[in-house]
Amino acid sequence: MQIRVIPGSNAAIYRQIADQIRRAVVSGQLAVGDPLPSVRQLAKELVVNPNTVAKAYAELVRDGVLETQAGRGAFIAKRRDVFTKTERLRRLDAALDTVISEALTLGFDRDETLERLRLKLDRLDVAKP
Amino acid sequence: MQIRVIPGSNAAIYRQIADQIRRAVVSGQLAVGDPLPSVRQLAKELVVNPNTVAKAYAELVRDGVLETQAGRGAFIAKRRDVFTKTERLRRLDAALDTVISEALTLGFDRDETLERLRLKLDRLDVAKP
Amino acid sequence: MQIRVIPGSNAAIYRQIADQIRRAVVSGQLAVGDPLPSVRQLAKELVVNPNTVAKAYAELVRDGVLETQAGRGAFIAKRRDVFTKTERLRRLDAALDTVISEALTLGFDRDETLERLRLKLDRLDVAKP
Amino acid sequence: MQIRVIPGSNAAIYRQIADQIRRAVVSGQLAVGDPLPSVRQLAKELVVNPNTVAKAYAELVRDGVLETQAGRGAFIAKRRDVFTKTERLRRLDAALDTVISEALTLGFDRDETLERLRLKLDRLDVAKP
DNA sequence: GTGGTCTAGACCACA
DNA sequence: GTGGTCTAGACCACA
């Protein structure tokens, strides 16, 4: 898989990396057990500091997306539910609040925003696991 | 109109202020030419730092929502587009991508994610008049 | 409250800091809404790098123990359940495995280890929330 | 005796090896003077790096569990205490403190924590003979 | 002032 | 080689 970073973006670099890996996992591009590039290698590719990649990997480990083994590398973990229903909703809401604020700022209305999300979700074609 | 600020919220205070003014404009609660409270006055009302209100106003001026007239205060400006259609979509898409990866790794599916966005949008009552 | 760091310890410094704050919270020394020292101030006190303190705070934020507000500081958050039952057990087990390995290395047997844990728990006198 | 290694485990491989040998000694499965497989042979059996086995053996030698006799291999040593009683307790307490803060912030209470430790200890069958 | 991000560079544990 | 931790120092967003 190909990870890319947009330096001028609002999103922190480590967030961009983590999000792209999340997307690759939910879209099936990365499967359980698949190895990820090493921290140093990916850092070199993206021309960012290894600490930044490590931060992204650490977040994904905490959220149960990755497993790391010192000396061996990082691998896609078996999917498991880490957060309570309430916590999951809290996190989803926080992400949605950001989108709503951005849509509002850009002048999109309710229906346009919903329609655009629907379109993008349908493109991914992700089914409930 | 009444602006309210929740200090413990995830959203920065200046964001909360700017978003509420934007919503008031979109919903027709505020019309072109309507005056806004002065930075100082609003800051006093909301019990926040004047810099914070100034930052919200500055963003709205930059985006063409407000106009300031030296010595007279700030007013709702005539709507004008700052970004091209393509640029607006590109920015919305970036925000939506983040929501999608977050939602899906949290285990929400297409319908749940859409439904939650719909719910939140309806609560805010963000619709073009 | 007084936080202390043992430089020669096996435990990472950021882990020591986070654990001590956790203990202060569960023992009631720190209550909901209580402010914590700023990252920079605590770093100065402990003579460690601010990044290290920030890392501890970030972990506590993720685990729902703290809330940070940019520009205002860090505060003890209202207790909430973040993790699923399975995840909580997974984390407890990981911690217990470390203790068991340490006890074994030090030559303590089953009963001695259990007894010591009981003793320490009773001293804390913590009731189910 | 049969040593087994779980590569995906949280515990480092050298820890798993050392702990299993310690348990075999404590439970009487291995007695003073019993020979251990050579580093190379055990590494081959477990399909791990010889350095890893060597590290486990080195720790056990340091702690007085094993003795190596040049050219003859490694043997279970006569039990001797490396740390004073006070030092042993100090180290156990440090490990227990971490478990306690982890358990309590996860929302486990005194009895649940004790019960889980008991369960895990019984499973491992760690008792002085 | 506050917390958050990032870099450059070092050192450690582990395999 | 792998990931994890820490420091020193810079810069940013926010209040």
Q: Say what the pLDDT of residue B129 is.
A: 42
> Hey, CA dihedral for C43, C49, C51, C55, is it positive or negative?
negative
For residue range A19-43, list pLDDT tens digits in order: 999 999 988 999 999 999 999 999 9
> Hey, CA dihedral for B43, B47, B50, B53, is it positive or negative?
negative
Closest-CA residue of chain D to C65: D105
Q: Say what the pLDDT of residue A127 is.
A: 47
Closest-CA residue of chain D to C22: D101
Is there a contact between B92 and A116 if contact means CB atoms under 8 Å apart?
Answer: yes
What is the arithmetic mean of pLDDT over B30-34?
95
For residue range C52-79, list pLDDT tens digits in order: 999 999 999 999 999 998 889 999 999 9
For residue range B61-75, list pLDDT tens digits in order: 999 999 998 888 899
For residue C125, count other CB atoms closer than 10 A to its CB.
9
pLDDT at D94 over 80: yes
CA of A52 to C1' of E9 (A): 14
- Residue A83 contacts C, CB cutoff 8 Å: yes
User: ∠ CA(D53), CA(D122), CA(D60), 5° rounding?
Assistant: 25
| Polymer length of chain C | 129
For residue range A56-75, list pLDDT tens digits in order: 999 999 999 999 988 899 99
Residue D79: φ, ψ to 5°: -60, 130
Q: Could you tell me the pTM of the whole model?
A: 0.91
Residue C97 φ/ψ region, left for φ over 0, alpha for ψ in the -120 to 50 degree band, beta for the rest:
alpha
* CB of B48 lies under 7 Å from some atom of strand F: yes
Q: Which among B63, B95, B121 is the nearest to A98, CB-wise?
A: B95
For residue range C93-126, list pLDDT tens digits in order: 999 999 999 999 999 999 999 999 999 999 875 5
- List bases in chain E with any atom under 7 Å of a protein Cβ: 1-10, 13-15
Name chain A contacts of C77, Cβ cutoff 8 Å. none
Distance CA D83, CA D90 (A): 10
For residue range C9-51, list pLDDT tens digits in order: 889 999 999 999 999 998 899 999 999 999 999 999 999 999 9
Beta bridge partners of B76: B66
Query: Residues by CB within 7 Å of nucleic chain E, which ones?
Result: A 12-15, 48-52, 55, 69-72; C 36, 38-41, 51, 54, 57-58, 61, 68-74; D 12-15, 48-49, 51-52, 55
For residue B46, count other CB atoms closer than 10 A to its CB.
18
- What percent of chain B stands above pLDDT 70? 96
Q: Say what the pLDDT of residue B125 is.
A: 60
DSSP-assigned states of every residue in D67-116: EEETTTEEEEPPP---S-HHHHHHHHHHHHHHHHHHHHHTT--HHHHHHH
Distance CA A76, CA A78 (A): 7
Residue D30: φ, ψ to 5°: -120, 130
Cβ–Cβ < 8 Å for C43, C53: yes
